[in-house]
Structure 1
Amino acid sequence: MEKRATFSNLWLAAALVAPQLLLVFVFFYWPSGEALYWAVTLEPPFGGSNQWVGWMNFETVFADPKYWNSVRVSVIFALLTTALSLAIAVLLALFVDRRLAGHQIYKFTYFIPYALAAPAVGLAFRFIFAPDAGFVSAINRVFPNLWNPALDGTDALALIIMAQAWNMAGYNFVFFLAALQSIPRTLVEAGAMDGAGVLRRMRDIQLPLITPTLFFLVIINITDSFVNSFGIVDITTNGGPARATDLMVYKIYSDGFQGKDYSLAAAQSIVLMVLVVSLTFLQFRFIERRVHYS
């Protein structure tokens, strides 16, 4: 019969756990509690104690067509960004996994985008894809007004999708490469001996074996697209033109810090948190069934 492991020094265990619990409380539970309090109260226009209003802020949010537009744009942004970033990362990882000449340099180079802050990425893409400068201006001279994120909402949405996907590609690349390198070489070599080409081995051997990693990255990328895209949107498009890139996280900022409606912004933040948790639950409930860990 196995004995249960015990830890006699409880004070030392508490001291080791306390910093992490403090960080979780200060940076998650406390802000979440404050947001919930603001969401069910209303601040008087000239100061004073908050007035209890119950679900009124949520009713105002759900009755606003601009909010539903931000939800639609956020879902499109999250799906396209996740698909593009994962596709780029898995291709880069497959190339590096083949150990081509200079593959060690590629490992470092491909990870660099993730080391950059989101505002820096947004600023870089804003100048690179400016319609009146760089290589895009040469295209616009041949095809006038083909690309103009300042005036065309589709172009603006495409711009922030490319920026976010480029920023996350390095993070995804590291995980995909680790997953590919954990596959026994004998399986790939056996496929090659049976006459399977590079693409066939990739599709039938390598990709099915890295589905747990793919599932993990889908969750991480979708969550990141909803909550960590503010910096890119703020620098590149400011939510425009005509609210074409007004993501949920950016609308929370614009309503709360620019419009000074803290209660409405708090209600939106609670809705965003519930949405992200629900999406994660649905992915674990239905998509994980298709993932094989052995």
Structure 2
Amino acid sequence: MDIVSFLIQCLNSVQYGLLLFLVASGLTLIFGIMGVINLAHGSFYMLGAYLAFALASLTGNLLIAVPLGIVLAVAFGYMLEWVFFSFLYERDHLQQVLMTYGLILVFEELRSILVGDDVHGVPIPAILDGALPIGNDMTYPVYRLCISAVCLLVAAAMYFVIRRTRLGMMIRAGATNREMVQSLGINVTVLYRVVFALGVALAVLAGMIAAPVSSVYPGMGAQVLIVCFVVVVIGGIGSVKGALVASLLLGFVDTFGKVFWQDASGVLIYLLMAVILLWKPQGLFKAG
């Protein structure tokens, strides 16, 4: 592998890892703070991809569709927590798994009824539909670089909110001791709904910006869900920083695994998880 090909694979690894981070960070917030095992989180990623397809078709531009989709995602997440997830906090994990798996079936059936089972494509906005030259005879798509830039901006915004704002202080405290937070007069019900809506919006955003690259197809949420749980376990439950580090690790392992060891590439991320858990059973970082 020459240096140009190596650089392109590194860019692919970072882009895939950062995209994973968007989905996994929402999952680790919901799992780490609310204590709910949400198997339906991958469906939010699928929802984002189908929202990109539908809204881009209506507006004619993905750049307009993405902000609209995020607003709809926040409203949808807030309502979903109020109607369904607010009843799961005192239930055991088996009931959480059963109900969230039921939501997967509901979302898949609604998707089939409303959009159908065909594979769809989402056009890249014309302003981003280009490529940058790398080396003498290779190029790299501008849109993929934009995906990485958006993910980095979201990661920076999340760091600022969680570390520098009152809301972030409440989120970190809720992840550590929710009873103490409630005893201090903080409305935990509203806090949980905000956290859940944020988690849904992150997954939807990931699905929307990934749609032009990966296309839109049935069952796409199930594939990303398993990898996201691996990210959460490796990074540490409830740790956004851990989700970022673990996502980038998985991005490099998966991408270069497919380049150098294609037959066993699917096993490498789970082997990485096993090695890290043997070293640090609680994950790389603590919650926060």
Normalised by the length of structure 1, the TM-score is 0.30
Question: Could you say which structure has the larger radius of gyration?
Answer: 1
**Structure of higher RCO (CA pairs closer than 8 Å, 6+ residues apart):** 2
Q: Report the TM-score, using the length of structure 2 for normalisation.
A: 0.30
